[in-house]
Structure 1
């Protein structure tokens, strides 16, 4: 139960503002620890996925690397060693590791029929890095691991019930907020990189249509907002995105 000194050793509370969205927060995980964790995860992923990663001479990799590099250049994180990996898999997924390591699965790539839609996905992942969502989620995880047993003892609540309730009321909304924020940041980045931000709306509408007949979890018990919600949110940022595009691409 104890919140170990080891776990607490990298908690260094600092006041922070998320770029582009302006959200204010306390971020109690050092960037050094975040990079160290990201490097360890990256090493393991390369071992696990190495046989399925496209080589750098492959045309599909070159397309992803071209779009990703353009986005990274306008992110303010040019000092990161960005790596973009295309993974052969039917799973429609894309994720990023702290430090700028992006993994895009061909199961999602097949639905990205132009560079603008590809920029919408990669911009979202770069948005996670720019907002340091990895550090924020790590801090959230540490705090909840401490809070669960403490509250269970103080209020005599069944640990399993407390864990399920906290997940529903805190963890899932927190995760969805991070996803929406990465959507917002990504849309601005793709505009600054001179891609068409309207492609983000088209992409979410397309994914919504593809998933219409699939049985999916309701939005409020999902880690991600529904594609329909994300398309509507993207519409609300469209004016801002085109203003940014006019400045950066004139």
Structure 2
């Protein structure tokens, strides 16, 4: 049943509007070959490269290697894919036109995030399958489901961080620069800092970063380790980052760059 807005515009049924938005966003994402390729190709390259010589042991073993590949894929698709797509559409006026359409604003952004989350899950499945084949890791059904659950949580966390960047930074060029800096900082702090090579203080900080927390969850799931307090804190860290960054992104988001 159609409804009428305050301005007299006929609003289409919500289910039809959502289907149209999801279809359009999925089409755009599939046509964005660079983003899709990087988010899958880069993790696969890491998995392939670590099968040679002692590379795998230098990264901490099979489980940490697969966890690293999963994190890189999720971070790339969210920070360098989703974020830049939103900023680009805002600069070109696409978001402003969608905002003027008789569609709930939450549906516009919800559709984009939903499609990106689905793409993240597909990418994570590919990474896990390739990792299991190349590194000979045996996973049971429960582990696979837990890995995908952690990937879902990590993807949402990184998307929230990206949404906060788009909310606070207006131009697409600035968004690109800030996203790259955040990408590098998260990777270096979460991975290098987590090893303890930079000192105990940075190691403690790294455990509370999204990358550090997600690496903890992936490592314990793949190692079949029982649930521990460390996993609980890692889960709490991911949820906290998601809530805070999503709140910032929603509060300060603008539909046009001017």
Judge same fold: TM > 0.5, yes or no: no
Q: Please give the TM-score of this superposition, normalised by the length of structure 1.
A: 0.33
Structure number having the greater strand percentage: 1
TM-score (norm 2): 0.32
Which has the larger share of helix?
2
**Structure with greater contact order relative to length (CA < 8 Å, sep ≥ 6):** 2
